Chain A
Amino acid sequence: MLNKARTLKDILWFFVFFGLVAGIFRLWFGLGATTNLTDSVPWGLWKVLNMIAGVALSTCGFTIGFLVYVLRVEKFKPLIKPAIFVAFLGYGSSCFALLFDIGLPYRFWHPLFMWNEHSFLFEVFWCVMLYFSVTFIELMPNILEKYKLKKTVGFLHKITIGVVIIGISLSTLHHSSLGSLFLITPYRLFPLWYSSLLPVYFFTSAAGCGIMFLIFVKILYSKLYNPVSVFGEQTNGKVPVVCSLNRNDGNTATKEYGKDMPMLSSLSIVGASLLAIYLILKIYDLFRLNLFNTLLIGTWESWIYILELLLTAVLPLVLVIIKKSRRSPYGLGTATFSASLGLALNRLDVGIIGYFRDAGSAYFPSLTEWALGIGVIAAAALVFLFVAENFSIFDEQWKVYKINKGIFKASFDTINRVWQAALHSGLQRTTIIGVFVLPIAFVLMYPQYKSDKGIYVVPASGLNTIRSILIINANTPGMSTEFPHLKHQETLGKEQSCIECHHISLPDDKSTPCSRCHRKMFEKTLIFNHEMHKGWVAADRQIPGLQPENKTCAICHLPGLPKDINSAVGCMECHKEDIHVANTLNLPKQFLYADSYFYVMHKRCIGCHQERKQGVNKPNLDQCSNCHQSYYTQYETKKELYGSLASD
């Protein structure tokens, strides 16, 4: 039982450490380097899963508050503390994750003073903030009880009903407003999800699934710490508590579960009836907007839509309606878990997935986004477990699970004493997880270790054999520029003219084409190939007494210095005769990087054209349109060119 809790905590710590590194990287390197967000999909996992779905799953605070304080259903009173606490943690973790999502986290307070009353986001901000304070006030008595501040607690109890009513109004507003956020995107959101009823959907589904989520938390918590209260006595020792809502139906011979089960199953009926309203509204909306064609056409969106509806409403409803599964913790657990999962999926659909078709590109969160998103949730769960262990959040009192604070003396024989023995005790166990997880997280998420995301652009797709025309399209189909190579060669003077433009002839090349080195269209490229040089340079010179492969090192890297770029001799030491001195190119000592193709072509062409425009009496020779006219006028001449190519 406690071993299970400990394993769960280990897993949670794993995610927390991962999230810690992710959070630091997010703040250090910025959003672009750590997330997969783009201009087409600006809202990602943190905002939608952590904020919108997280807040939606924390509605139990106000629904149970409504049931207990306003409607005075005394049956659910034991659940009020965990409900408020789950709400508090849910809102807290959501807001914390949101701090990492917004571009300028240090300005989170701006909406307090800078108002735009027309924005639903503004309303959500205020309501969430106020409601978070309300949950805090509601929570205070439970914490203060432990410190025996009777006056404060008494005062807080007196104002409870007022605070609860304010909380319920605020929740009604912001849960529907979270749906209204997406009303502003009528032509971007996929029509299955866009509806003018979005606020109502969001409110009903959040209220229903919030209750279900609380039941799930209760069942899970009991499984870990106090199985008797929900799962019943495992042995035959004591008097069994019969789970039956209505003792008059004569069907008391059902399986015996814990004493909390009747309460949970009757609560699940409340949640399920809210979900039923949600389901009916959704189906009504399909009729109203006439979306059956879109639903049945079989796009992947429609499958996700059906899955989401099944998980959120249909499966939980069925499981709750069947009496047998409703009264069993396993059936109820499945129902509530499915509802929570479905709710998260629904929010992801409305917030992210529904925009893919419009954006024209899909988005899958990066590792950093998953790590931080899950890490924040894991941290909230750890706080929950900690508080539930040390304060009386769930009403029953049980033996507080104490960690054995073992202390180890310094010993060089560490692997046995300091490491293995630490596995049996609390915080020292956690630090071991940290020692291993932090480096892994660092290496996996460090932006500079990721593979180069930049696309490789092949600049010139032309004719290598004849070289009469070079067609430069820069990977933009439909837009290209022709460079009439043959024409230039003839105008400038046949065979002798090569060196006018080609400034280098690498070994085995007559005159090296531009794209050999200027490989990328708009970026500099690393052109120095170390492996290749190693093989070639050795053949040239002989240094006696060295291991054959090491001879080359001594040629380029000066002895007595670190073997890096700075200690190597310049490229011109060897390549002097390859460079055509005829043209006035200013080559540096080390030309490791070649400029972009775009840059060098413009530089070479425009410079030369500017010089020659007077001589040949063509005033437009240095204008853009001289080369780039193929955009529109040269469409016909293009055909001629292609024709001439074919004849060559």
Chain B
Amino acid sequence: MIQLDGINKYYPSGAGMLHVLKDIQLTIQQGDYLSIMGPSGSGKSTLLNMLGLLDTIDSGEYTLEETPTSQLNEEQRASLRARYIGFIFQSFQLIDRLTAFENIALPMVLAEVPTKTRNARVSELLAKVGLTERAHHKPGQLSGGQLQRVAIARAIVMQPTIILADEPTGNLDQQSGNDIVTLLEALNSQGITLVVVTHDHALGERALRKITMVDGVLSQR
């Protein structure tokens, strides 16, 4: 479960400090399917980064799976990220020199999971995202939709409880985008919490809970 209590975030700007997250209150239950929409600069990506422990908060408390995170150091946040959170990015963020198999296995490599377990898990996920035949292809040899499926497999390889997706269909054609959304919703139906940040109104509307960010203020529908 995720609990945000009175979160505030400021960034320095030319005219002083910019208040990008204003007193955010939010609870996300295990298995929720949540979309965060809003115009550019509204603070939705900042909120996602904060949920992913990539960014720190200036005040308030963020509790992730019963662990208060505001006082954690960088190493502790990295450890929590590895354990609970899977990321999906608009630009896929795959490593060019690694194959699809190696890209998916990367979080397990970092976590020192034994090779045998790792190989079994990656093979299982490749089958799940329909890329078994492309296991040893490098990113340059895959289409946009295939790249995002590799990224999804990597996001769930460590069996996270939450997936944070930042514009997951932003770089895909409509058909590939639909396939990816279907895949993510299937994961959500298996109990994984899904938080999607998007400009795409149609995608946002598919979520069970819809949140809108305007000028750092959160409103729920």
Instruction: Specify whether A and B are partners.
Output: no
Chain B residues engaging chain A, CB cutoff 8 angstroms:
none
Chain A residues engaging chain B, CB cutoff 8 angstroms:
none
